Amino acid sequence: MPEGKIIKALSGFYYVLDGSNQITQCRGRGIFRKNKITPLVGDLVVFQAENDLEGYIMEVLARKNELVRPPIANVDQAILVFSAVEPDFSTLLLDRFLVLIEANDIEPIICISKMDLTSESIREQIENAVKHYEAIGYKVIMTSTIQELGIEELLPLVENQISVFAGQSGVGKSSLLNVLRPDLELKTDDISSHLGRGKHTTRHVELIKVGSGLIADTPGFSSLEFTDIEVEELSYCFPEIYKAGADCKFRGCLHTSEPKCAVTQGVESGEIQDYRYEHYISFLEEIKDRKPRY
């Protein structure tokens, strides 16, 4: 039986792309529901084609990772799109996204959009933040779809990868995809002046072919809560804190008020940015205050 990749899920149907670029509309087997298996966009599957257009998914192969909201599997990298303005750039929100992506073992790429709309002072603030994130080891690209800034830098990064575009609504994810693949003509909406944020324009998860890669345009993260991250795991999601933590005196140091903590020393010396540490402490408290699940 042939294998393929689910590139779209809609109304109980799964659209499977096989090695010869043929797309087959499939249904899941009834046993999947019984065994509580939900095929996801990005899943590698074994399917049986009833004819050229219709078939059944027989088996969902092992996943290397999965996101729940948006529902997608086997993601290689997340392109975190944050606008410089409209809505304003926020390191707090960016760090929240980075933690969620790092916790799922997905490679993050930071993409700052709408650079053409920045004033000189805002541009300077953004460039300072970019230096900090690049020093940690993150790949950062500043883009403008109007000026086509950063597009040539972004295109090679999506080759042969499954990438997910993520970020709050209104930051220009669909506009970026339209520039990467102009024939898409994805619907984009202006910022709602009443709400100060974008209106949702993407309704379902779908993998879109861009060059030799696949990009998921998603309806966005409907939940940004740290439901599956434990306090001991949080430092793994802050690379510079995790690296400094290796030199702490006590094993299991949470880098709050413990003596001879290399992380707090790193903050004092300026090696770790104050705001990154403040976000770490804030997220740590949030996880500690989380209601237990039974």
**Domain edges within the chain:** 3-62, 67-217, 231-288
DSSP collapsed to 3 states, 119-174:
CHHHHHHHHHHHHHHHHHCCEEEECECCCCECHHHHHHHHCCCEEEEECCCCCCHH
Residue 53 or residue 239, greater confidence? 239
**DSSP string across 227-278:** TT--GGGGGGGSHHHHHHHTT-SSTT--SSS-TT-HHHHHHHHTSS-HHHHH
Residue 198 has pLDDT above 50, yes or no: no
Q: How confident is the model at residue 177 (pLDDT cuts 50, 70, 90)?
A: confident
Predicted structure pTM score: 0.86
Residue 223 or residue 46, greater confidence? 46
Give pairs for 273-277: CB < 8 Å, separation 24+. Answer: 273/132, 275/91, 275/92, 276/91, 276/95, 276/132, 276/136, 276/238, 276/240, 276/241, 277/241
Query: What average pLDDT does the chain have?
Result: 89
| Tens digit of each residue's pLDDT (9 = 90 or more) over 270-284 | 999 999 999 999 999
The architecture that CATH gives domain 3-62 is Beta Barrel (2.40)
Mean pLDDT lowest for which of 36-40, 243-247, 255-259? 36-40
Residue 148 or residue 132, greater confidence? 132
The architecture that CATH gives domain 231-288 is Orthogonal Bundle (1.10)
Residue 173 or residue 57, greater confidence? 57
**CATH no. for 67-217:** 3.40.50.300
**Model pLDDT, residue 30:** 82
